[in-house]
A and B are shown apart, each in its own frame.
Chain A
Amino acid sequence: MVQADIIKLQNAIAINRDEAAYRQLFINFHQPLIKFGGAIIQSEEAAEDLYSEVMIKIWLMEESLAKIENLKQYLYTLIRNAAFNELKARKKIVISSLDDLPDDYNSTYSVEDCFLKDEFDKKINDAIKSLPPKCGLVYRLIREDGFNYRQTSEILGISVNTIEGHMTLAIKKISDTLRKYLH
Protein backbone atom coordinates (compact mmCIF):
# COMPACT_ATOMS: atom_id res chain seq x y z
CA MET A 1 0.00 0.00 0.00
CA VAL A 2 1.50 3.32 -1.01
CA GLN A 3 1.76 6.31 1.29
CA ALA A 4 -1.07 8.19 -0.46
CA ASP A 5 -3.48 5.29 0.18
CA ILE A 6 -2.43 5.11 3.81
CA ILE A 7 -3.10 8.83 4.24
CA LYS A 8 -6.57 8.42 2.74
CA LEU A 9 -7.40 5.65 5.22
CA GLN A 10 -5.86 7.63 8.05
CA ASN A 11 -8.08 10.64 7.36
CA ALA A 12 -11.18 8.53 6.83
CA ILE A 13 -10.65 6.91 10.23
CA ALA A 14 -9.67 10.10 12.03
CA ILE A 15 -12.32 12.42 10.68
CA ASN A 16 -15.19 10.27 9.40
CA ARG A 17 -14.68 7.40 11.88
CA ASP A 18 -14.91 5.19 8.79
CA GLU A 19 -15.00 1.58 9.85
CA ALA A 20 -14.37 0.14 6.40
CA ALA A 21 -11.17 2.18 6.23
CA TYR A 22 -10.21 0.97 9.69
CA ARG A 23 -10.73 -2.61 8.62
CA GLN A 24 -8.62 -2.10 5.51
CA LEU A 25 -5.81 -0.58 7.56
CA PHE A 26 -5.97 -3.42 10.07
CA ILE A 27 -5.82 -6.11 7.42
CA ASN A 28 -3.12 -4.40 5.39
CA PHE A 29 -0.64 -4.17 8.24
CA HIS A 30 -1.65 -7.32 10.10
CA GLN A 31 0.83 -9.77 8.58
CA PRO A 32 3.93 -7.54 8.43
CA LEU A 33 3.38 -6.24 11.95
CA ILE A 34 2.74 -9.55 13.68
CA LYS A 35 5.87 -10.85 11.97
CA PHE A 36 7.84 -7.84 13.12
CA GLY A 37 6.46 -7.94 16.66
CA GLY A 38 6.80 -11.71 16.71
CA ALA A 39 10.48 -11.41 15.83
CA ILE A 40 11.09 -9.30 18.91
CA ILE A 41 9.01 -11.20 21.45
CA GLN A 42 9.65 -14.57 19.82
CA SER A 43 6.01 -15.47 19.37
CA GLU A 44 3.68 -14.48 16.57
CA GLU A 45 0.72 -15.51 18.69
CA ALA A 46 1.63 -13.04 21.42
CA ALA A 47 2.30 -10.46 18.73
CA GLU A 48 -1.36 -10.80 17.65
CA ASP A 49 -2.41 -9.36 21.00
CA LEU A 50 0.09 -6.54 20.75
CA TYR A 51 -1.19 -5.69 17.29
CA SER A 52 -4.80 -5.70 18.47
CA GLU A 53 -3.92 -3.36 21.34
CA VAL A 54 -2.01 -1.03 19.06
CA MET A 55 -4.96 -0.90 16.67
CA ILE A 56 -7.35 -0.06 19.52
CA LYS A 57 -5.05 2.85 20.36
CA ILE A 58 -5.19 3.95 16.74
CA TRP A 59 -9.01 4.01 16.81
CA LEU A 60 -9.07 5.90 20.10
CA MET A 61 -6.77 8.60 18.78
CA GLU A 62 -9.78 9.99 16.91
CA GLU A 63 -8.91 13.23 15.12
CA SER A 64 -5.32 13.36 16.31
CA LEU A 65 -4.67 10.32 14.12
CA ALA A 66 -4.77 12.62 11.10
CA LYS A 67 -1.74 14.49 12.43
CA ILE A 68 0.60 11.47 12.34
CA GLU A 69 3.16 12.14 9.64
CA ASN A 70 4.11 8.61 8.67
CA LEU A 71 1.49 6.20 9.94
CA LYS A 72 3.29 3.10 8.72
CA GLN A 73 6.45 3.95 10.63
CA TYR A 74 4.32 5.00 13.59
CA LEU A 75 2.66 1.59 13.68
CA TYR A 76 6.02 -0.19 13.65
CA THR A 77 7.18 2.05 16.47
CA LEU A 78 4.06 1.31 18.54
CA ILE A 79 4.55 -2.42 18.01
CA ARG A 80 8.21 -2.13 18.95
CA ASN A 81 7.32 -0.30 22.17
CA ALA A 82 4.62 -2.83 23.00
CA ALA A 83 7.03 -5.69 22.29
CA PHE A 84 9.81 -4.17 24.42
CA ASN A 85 7.33 -3.64 27.26
CA GLU A 86 6.23 -7.23 26.97
CA LEU A 87 9.83 -8.44 27.17
CA LYS A 88 10.46 -6.11 30.08
CA ALA A 89 7.52 -7.58 31.94
CA ARG A 90 8.66 -11.11 31.17
CA LYS A 91 12.34 -10.78 31.84
CA LYS A 92 12.30 -7.86 34.21
CA ILE A 93 14.93 -6.02 32.21
CA VAL A 94 14.71 -2.56 30.69
CA ILE A 95 14.72 -2.55 26.93
CA SER A 96 14.63 0.63 24.96
CA SER A 97 16.53 -0.32 21.83
CA LEU A 98 17.50 -3.38 19.87
CA ASP A 99 20.96 -3.14 21.41
CA ASP A 100 19.51 -4.13 24.77
CA LEU A 101 18.56 -7.54 23.45
CA PRO A 102 21.04 -10.39 23.75
CA ASP A 103 22.71 -11.22 20.44
CA ASP A 104 21.64 -14.82 20.42
CA TYR A 105 17.98 -14.49 21.22
CA ASN A 106 15.83 -16.70 19.04
CA SER A 107 13.96 -14.97 16.36
CA THR A 108 10.79 -16.33 14.84
CA TYR A 109 10.82 -13.90 11.96
CA SER A 110 9.74 -16.36 9.35
CA VAL A 111 8.23 -16.41 5.93
CA GLU A 112 5.71 -19.10 5.15
CA ASP A 113 7.57 -21.56 2.98
CA CYS A 114 4.50 -22.47 0.98
CA PHE A 115 4.24 -19.30 -1.05
CA LEU A 116 7.75 -19.26 -2.40
CA LYS A 117 7.84 -19.38 -6.15
CA ASP A 118 10.42 -22.08 -6.54
CA GLU A 119 13.29 -23.92 -5.01
CA PHE A 120 15.65 -21.01 -5.45
CA ASP A 121 13.41 -18.62 -3.57
CA LYS A 122 13.36 -21.18 -0.82
CA LYS A 123 17.14 -21.02 -0.69
CA ILE A 124 17.03 -17.24 -0.31
CA ASN A 125 14.39 -17.60 2.34
CA ASP A 126 16.43 -20.16 4.24
CA ALA A 127 19.39 -17.82 4.03
CA ILE A 128 17.31 -14.97 5.48
CA LYS A 129 16.03 -17.22 8.23
CA SER A 130 19.50 -18.27 9.24
CA LEU A 131 20.70 -14.67 9.59
CA PRO A 132 21.57 -13.50 13.09
CA PRO A 133 18.26 -12.19 14.54
CA LYS A 134 19.06 -8.48 14.56
CA CYS A 135 20.54 -8.73 11.12
CA GLY A 136 17.41 -10.46 9.83
CA LEU A 137 15.19 -7.90 11.49
CA VAL A 138 17.03 -5.05 9.78
CA TYR A 139 17.04 -6.85 6.43
CA ARG A 140 13.27 -7.44 6.52
CA LEU A 141 12.38 -3.94 7.61
CA ILE A 142 14.37 -2.61 4.68
CA ARG A 143 13.69 -5.16 1.95
CA GLU A 144 10.21 -6.39 2.77
CA ASP A 145 8.61 -3.55 4.67
CA GLY A 146 10.23 -0.85 2.53
CA PHE A 147 11.83 1.38 5.16
CA ASN A 148 15.01 3.35 4.53
CA TYR A 149 18.05 3.38 6.82
CA ARG A 150 16.92 6.41 8.82
CA GLN A 151 13.41 5.04 9.40
CA THR A 152 14.77 1.62 10.33
CA SER A 153 17.16 3.25 12.75
CA GLU A 154 14.28 5.16 14.35
CA ILE A 155 12.08 2.07 14.57
CA LEU A 156 14.75 -0.11 16.16
CA GLY A 157 16.40 2.59 18.25
CA ILE A 158 19.87 1.98 16.87
CA SER A 159 22.15 4.24 14.82
CA VAL A 160 22.07 4.52 11.04
CA ASN A 161 25.64 3.24 10.91
CA THR A 162 24.68 0.14 12.85
CA ILE A 163 21.72 -0.38 10.51
CA GLU A 164 24.02 -0.16 7.51
CA GLY A 165 26.41 -2.60 9.17
CA HIS A 166 23.60 -5.11 9.80
CA MET A 167 22.31 -4.72 6.26
CA THR A 168 25.72 -5.23 4.66
CA LEU A 169 26.33 -8.28 6.84
CA ALA A 170 22.91 -9.66 5.86
CA ILE A 171 23.65 -9.21 2.15
CA LYS A 172 27.04 -10.85 2.54
CA LYS A 173 25.61 -13.84 4.41
CA ILE A 174 22.72 -14.34 1.99
CA SER A 175 25.16 -14.09 -0.91
CA ASP A 176 27.43 -16.69 0.67
CA THR A 177 24.50 -19.11 0.87
CA LEU A 178 23.35 -18.36 -2.67
CA ARG A 179 26.82 -18.84 -4.11
CA LYS A 180 26.57 -22.56 -3.41
CA TYR A 181 23.62 -22.77 -5.79
CA LEU A 182 24.88 -20.48 -8.48
CA HIS A 183 27.32 -22.92 -10.04
Chain B
Amino acid sequence: MSEKLFFQLLSRQLAGEATSGELKKLKQLTEENSEWDKLYHELNYNKANTTEDEQVKSEQAYMLHMLKMQLVLPKKEVEIENSVIRLPFYIKYMRPLIGVAASLLIIGSTVAYVFLANNHEKEFSNLIATKEGSKTNIKLPDGTTVWVNSDSKIWYADNFNSKTREVWLS
Protein backbone atom coordinates (compact mmCIF):
# COMPACT_ATOMS: atom_id res chain seq x y z
CA MET B 1 0.00 0.00 0.00
CA SER B 2 1.32 3.42 -0.95
CA GLU B 3 2.93 5.36 1.84
CA LYS B 4 2.07 8.56 0.02
CA LEU B 5 -1.62 7.75 0.36
CA PHE B 6 -1.17 7.08 4.07
CA PHE B 7 0.41 10.48 4.65
CA GLN B 8 -2.21 12.21 2.59
CA LEU B 9 -5.04 10.58 4.53
CA LEU B 10 -3.35 11.15 7.88
CA SER B 11 -2.89 14.84 7.03
CA ARG B 12 -6.54 15.18 6.11
CA GLN B 13 -7.61 13.39 9.27
CA LEU B 14 -5.40 15.61 11.47
CA ALA B 15 -6.75 18.72 9.78
CA GLY B 16 -10.32 17.54 10.32
CA GLU B 17 -10.78 17.53 6.56
CA ALA B 18 -11.17 13.79 5.96
CA THR B 19 -14.47 12.41 4.69
CA SER B 20 -15.96 9.32 6.31
CA GLY B 21 -14.74 7.24 3.35
CA GLU B 22 -11.21 8.55 3.85
CA LEU B 23 -11.33 7.85 7.58
CA LYS B 24 -12.40 4.27 6.87
CA LYS B 25 -9.55 3.87 4.43
CA LEU B 26 -7.08 5.30 6.94
CA LYS B 27 -8.29 2.92 9.64
CA GLN B 28 -7.82 0.03 7.26
CA LEU B 29 -4.27 1.14 6.48
CA THR B 30 -3.27 1.49 10.14
CA GLU B 31 -4.65 -1.96 10.89
CA GLU B 32 -2.45 -3.43 8.19
CA ASN B 33 0.75 -1.67 9.19
CA SER B 34 1.79 -1.43 12.85
CA GLU B 35 4.29 1.36 12.23
CA TRP B 36 1.63 3.48 10.60
CA ASP B 37 -0.64 2.69 13.51
CA LYS B 38 1.97 4.03 15.94
CA LEU B 39 2.54 7.14 13.85
CA TYR B 40 -1.20 7.70 13.70
CA HIS B 41 -1.44 7.64 17.50
CA GLU B 42 1.65 9.73 18.10
CA LEU B 43 0.61 12.47 15.71
CA ASN B 44 -2.87 12.63 17.18
CA TYR B 45 -1.40 14.00 20.41
CA ASN B 46 -3.22 16.68 22.32
CA LYS B 47 -1.66 20.04 22.44
CA ALA B 48 -0.44 21.02 25.89
CA ASN B 49 -2.50 23.73 27.51
CA THR B 50 -1.09 27.14 28.18
CA THR B 51 1.46 26.98 30.96
CA GLU B 52 1.39 29.09 34.07
CA ASP B 53 4.50 30.83 32.84
CA GLU B 54 2.80 31.78 29.60
CA GLN B 55 -0.27 32.92 31.51
CA VAL B 56 1.87 35.30 33.56
CA LYS B 57 3.53 36.61 30.40
CA SER B 58 0.14 37.27 28.86
CA GLU B 59 -1.07 39.12 31.96
CA GLN B 60 2.02 41.30 31.92
CA ALA B 61 1.57 41.94 28.23
CA TYR B 62 -1.99 43.05 28.96
CA MET B 63 -0.87 45.56 31.59
CA LEU B 64 1.63 47.05 29.17
CA HIS B 65 -1.03 47.07 26.51
CA MET B 66 -3.41 49.05 28.72
CA LEU B 67 -0.72 51.66 29.34
CA LYS B 68 -0.18 51.93 25.62
CA MET B 69 -3.91 52.25 25.03
CA GLN B 70 -4.11 55.22 27.35
CA LEU B 71 -1.31 56.97 25.50
CA VAL B 72 -2.65 56.20 22.06
CA LEU B 73 -6.37 56.72 22.48
CA PRO B 74 -8.01 60.12 22.63
CA LYS B 75 -8.75 61.15 26.18
CA LYS B 76 -12.47 60.94 25.73
CA GLU B 77 -12.25 57.30 24.79
CA VAL B 78 -10.26 56.50 27.90
CA GLU B 79 -12.79 58.26 30.08
CA ILE B 80 -15.65 56.31 28.61
CA GLU B 81 -13.98 53.14 29.70
CA ASN B 82 -14.74 51.72 33.05
CA SER B 83 -12.66 53.72 35.46
CA VAL B 84 -11.23 50.62 37.13
CA ILE B 85 -8.18 50.48 34.90
CA ARG B 86 -7.23 54.06 35.50
CA LEU B 87 -7.16 53.59 39.23
CA PRO B 88 -4.04 52.34 40.93
CA PHE B 89 -4.38 48.81 42.23
CA TYR B 90 -4.55 49.75 45.87
CA ILE B 91 -7.60 51.88 45.25
CA LYS B 92 -9.16 49.13 43.19
CA TYR B 93 -8.83 46.67 46.04
CA MET B 94 -9.82 49.20 48.69
CA ARG B 95 -13.06 49.94 46.92
CA PRO B 96 -15.16 47.50 48.93
CA LEU B 97 -13.57 48.90 52.10
CA ILE B 98 -14.47 52.42 51.04
CA GLY B 99 -18.06 51.23 50.73
CA VAL B 100 -17.98 49.79 54.23
CA ALA B 101 -16.39 52.95 55.59
CA ALA B 102 -19.02 55.06 53.89
CA SER B 103 -21.88 53.09 55.38
CA LEU B 104 -20.31 53.22 58.83
CA LEU B 105 -20.02 56.97 58.43
CA ILE B 106 -23.67 57.25 57.41
CA ILE B 107 -24.83 55.13 60.34
CA GLY B 108 -22.56 57.08 62.69
CA SER B 109 -23.75 60.45 61.54
CA THR B 110 -27.40 59.39 61.71
CA VAL B 111 -26.94 58.33 65.31
CA ALA B 112 -25.12 61.57 66.05
CA TYR B 113 -27.81 63.56 64.29
CA VAL B 114 -30.65 61.96 66.20
CA PHE B 115 -28.75 62.43 69.44
CA LEU B 116 -27.82 66.01 68.75
CA ALA B 117 -31.15 66.86 67.18
CA ASN B 118 -32.84 65.99 70.44
CA ASN B 119 -30.25 68.02 72.24
CA HIS B 120 -30.09 71.05 70.09
CA GLU B 121 -33.80 71.68 70.42
CA LYS B 122 -33.23 72.22 74.12
CA GLU B 123 -30.03 74.17 73.76
CA PHE B 124 -30.98 76.21 70.72
CA SER B 125 -34.32 77.37 71.97
CA ASN B 126 -35.16 79.70 69.07
CA LEU B 127 -36.64 78.09 65.99
CA ILE B 128 -37.60 79.84 62.79
CA ALA B 129 -39.39 77.64 60.29
CA THR B 130 -40.62 78.60 56.85
CA LYS B 131 -43.51 77.00 55.00
CA GLU B 132 -43.24 75.59 51.58
CA GLY B 133 -43.28 78.42 49.09
CA SER B 134 -42.41 81.20 51.52
CA LYS B 135 -39.08 82.80 52.39
CA THR B 136 -38.06 84.97 55.23
CA ASN B 137 -35.13 86.88 56.59
CA ILE B 138 -34.25 86.94 60.25
CA LYS B 139 -31.81 88.80 62.42
CA LEU B 140 -29.66 86.71 64.76
CA PRO B 141 -28.67 88.01 68.24
CA ASP B 142 -25.30 89.24 66.94
CA GLY B 143 -26.91 91.22 64.17
CA THR B 144 -26.29 88.81 61.30
CA THR B 145 -29.07 88.62 58.73
CA VAL B 146 -30.00 85.18 57.50
CA TRP B 147 -32.23 84.51 54.53
CA VAL B 148 -34.21 81.37 55.14
CA ASN B 149 -35.48 79.67 52.01
CA SER B 150 -38.84 77.92 51.77
CA ASP B 151 -39.53 74.79 53.84
CA SER B 152 -36.44 75.22 56.06
CA LYS B 153 -35.77 75.45 59.75
CA ILE B 154 -33.12 77.31 61.67
CA TRP B 155 -32.39 76.93 65.34
CA TYR B 156 -30.23 79.27 67.36
CA ALA B 157 -29.47 79.83 70.99
CA ASP B 158 -30.13 82.92 73.06
CA ASN B 159 -26.64 83.03 74.47
CA PHE B 160 -24.96 83.73 71.15
CA ASN B 161 -21.48 84.68 72.27
CA SER B 162 -18.81 86.37 70.22
CA LYS B 163 -16.48 83.36 69.88
CA THR B 164 -18.78 80.80 68.33
CA ARG B 165 -22.00 81.45 66.55
CA GLU B 166 -23.71 78.12 66.14
CA VAL B 167 -26.93 77.60 64.28
CA TRP B 168 -28.77 74.45 63.16
CA LEU B 169 -30.30 74.22 59.77
CA SER B 170 -32.62 71.69 58.31
Contacts and interface: CB of A to CB of B under 8 A. Distances in A.
Q: Do they bind each other?
A: yes
A30 B61 CA distance: 8
B47 A143 contact: yes
A11 B59 CA distance: 22
Main secondary structure of the interface of B (DSSP, over half): helix
A174 B40 CA distance: 11
Interface string A42-72: 0000001001100110011000000000000
B42 interface: yes
B56 to A, nearest CB: 10
Interface residues of A, number: 39
B17 A175 contact: no
Nearest to B15: A142
A161 B28 CA distance: 25
Contacts of B10: 171, 175
B48 A148 contact: no
Question: Considering residues A30, A31, A117, which has the most beta carbons from chain B within 10 angstroms of its beta carbon?
Answer: A30
Main secondary structure of the interface of A (DSSP, over half): helix
A178 B39 contact: yes
A26 B7 CA distance: 36
Interface stretch (A73-81, A82-90, A91-99, A108-116): A108-116
A175 B8 CA distance: 12
Contact of B35 (A26, A120, A182): A182
Interface of B: 7-8, 10-12, 14-17, 35, 38-39, 42-43, 45, 47-48, 50-51, 53-55, 57-59, 61-62, 64-65, 68-69, 72-73, 77, 80-82, 84-85
30 contacts: A19-B81, A19-B82, A27-B59, A30-B57, A31-B50, A51-B61, A52-B64, A52-B65, A55-B65, A56-B69, A56-B72, A56-B73, A60-B73, A112-B51, A114-B51, A114-B53, A115-B51, A115-B53, A124-B45, A143-B47, A148-B17, A149-B15, A149-B17, A164-B17, A167-B14, A178-B39, A178-B43, A179-B35, A182-B38, A182-B39
Given A27-B58, A172-B7, 11 more contacts: A17-B82, A19-B82, A19-B85, A52-B61, A59-B69, A60-B73, A115-B48, A164-B11, A175-B10, A178-B43, A179-B39
